[in-house]
């Protein structure tokens, strides 16, 4: 029997990039996947079609996690229409890069609200039902930038560092009821988010990566699958780097 057989998994920002790979991977492990998106319904539906063609189960679910109402409605819709959420992957994220002297309040707030607020809002909405069920797994997608910082990304780095604090605190809060909370810190992964990297920046990243390549979304997705499985049953509050060694 596949290791996640029949478990309902909600993946925020599952419509493309790393989130889409996570949806595909969890579905191939037997999970029934809720593919969340904010704006692009056709991309989310394409992920669901691909999962179904491969024999898995997936449903597209709209919801803006950057607001408390949006995240609560999303969690409620998945629990009501699909089933009790056993796995929550907080993957939705955005960048609005600039040097701090030019960084607008709007770009500060939108990144914090989406990347950090989104995880807070979904975790809060799901905490009561998960506590009642005394089981559950949460995986937060942070970033190597949240660990080491990056010039021009103060808003993004602050949101991702905050996500690490949230992960560790929540692991302590929920561990007594059998709920595990971990984070994954990807290095540079080839997606739309990193597509616009200038050649010079790309070369510098590759030069600092012992494995000598950018990551693929599937590299992150396989690590998520492991952390969601019972094989990781004694792992909580951890931050797993999936970065080809860039952070060493
Ligand atoms: P993409 O930009 O390719 O995808 C982002 C996803 O998030 C989309 O599905 C988008 O949906 C969704 N999203 C954005 N805002 C919201 C919102 N308010 N509510 C719900 N969904 C939303 O990003 P990546 O796949 O590259 O990144 C995924 C995660 O991994 C992010 O958290 C990112 O910070 C992190 N990460 C990425 C790295 C990389 O190198 N790519 C490295 C380290 C971490 P829609 O289009 O419908 O808005």
Domain count, the chain: 1
What's the confidence (pLDDT) of residue 87?
99
Q: Residue 233 has which token pair?
A: 């049953």
What's the confidence (pLDDT) of residue 1?
82
What's the confidence (pLDDT) of residue 196?
78
What's the confidence (pLDDT) of residue 34?
99
What's the confidence (pLDDT) of residue 201?
83
In a domain, 137, yes or no: yes
The residues near 206 (Cβ < 8 Å, ≥ 6 apart) are 212, 213, 214
Mean pLDDT for back-to-back runs of 10 residues, the chain (248 residues): 95 98 98 98 98 98 98 98 98 97 98 99 98 98 96 97 99 98 97 83 90 96 98 98 97
Give burial (CB, 10 Å; 0-12/13-18/19+) of 19.
Answer: buried
In a domain, 110, yes or no: yes
In a domain, 181, yes or no: yes
Ligand 1 cavity residues, CB under 6 Å: 12-13, 15-19, 36-40, 64-66, 91-94, 114, 141, 143, 186, 188-189, 191-194
- The residues carrying an active-site annotation are 156
Give, in degrees to the nearest 5, the angle at Cα 150 between 20 and 183: 45
CA of 1 to the centre of ligand 1 (A): 31
In a domain, 46, yes or no: yes
Query: Ligand 1, from 18, 24, 62, 115: best to mutate by most atoms within 8 Å of Cβ?
Result: 18
In a domain, 102, yes or no: yes
Closest Cα partner for 145 from 136, 135, 158? 158
In a domain, 248, yes or no: no
CA of 184 to the centre of ligand 1 (A): 14
The residues near 46 (Cβ < 8 Å, ≥ 6 apart) are none
User: What ranges make up the beta strands (E) of the chain?
Assistant: 8-11, 32-37, 57-62, 85-90, 136-141, 179-186, 239-242
What's the confidence (pLDDT) of residue 138?
99
| Domain harbouring 109, CATH code | 3.40.50.720
- Tens of pLDDT along 181-199? 999 999 999 988 788 788 8
In a domain, 91, yes or no: yes
What's the confidence (pLDDT) of residue 202?
85
In a domain, 211, yes or no: yes
What atom in ligand 1 is closest to the CA of residue 92?
A: 7
What's the confidence (pLDDT) of residue 193?
79
Determine the structural domain holding residue 106 and report its residue range: 8-241
What atom in ligand 1 is closest to the CA of residue 65?
A: 19
């Amino acid at each position: 029997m596949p290791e996640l057989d029949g478990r309902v998994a909600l993946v925020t920002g599952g419509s493309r990039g790393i989130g889409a790979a996570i949806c595909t991977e969890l579905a191939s492990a037997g999970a029934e996947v809720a593919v969340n998106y904010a704006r692009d319904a056709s991309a989310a539906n394409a992920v669901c079609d691909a999962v179904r063609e491969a024999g898995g189960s997936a449903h597209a679910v709209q919801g803006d996690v950057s607001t408390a109402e949006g995240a609560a409605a999303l969690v409620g819709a998945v629990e009501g229409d699909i089933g009790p959420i056993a796995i929550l992957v907080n993957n939705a994220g955005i960048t609005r890069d600039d040097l701090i002297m030019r960084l607008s309040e709007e770009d500060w707030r939108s990144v914090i609200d989406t990347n950090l607020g989104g995880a807070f809002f979904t975790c809060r909405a799901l905490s009561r039902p998960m506590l009642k069920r005394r089981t559950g797994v949460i995986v937060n997608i942070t970033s190597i930038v949240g660990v080491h910082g990056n010039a021009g990304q103060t808003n993004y780095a602050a949101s991702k560092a905050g996500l690490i604090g949230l992960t560790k605190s929540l692991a302590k809060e929920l561990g007594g009821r059998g709920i595990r909370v971990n984070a994954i810190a990807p290095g540079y992964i080839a997606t739309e988010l990193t597509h616009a990297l200038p050649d010079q920046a790309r070369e510098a990243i590759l030069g600092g990566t012992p494995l000598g390549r950018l990551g693929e979304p599937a590299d992150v997705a396989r690590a998520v699958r492991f952390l969601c499985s019972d094989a990781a049953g004694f792992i909580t509050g951890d931050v797993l780097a999936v970065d080809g060694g860039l952070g060493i």
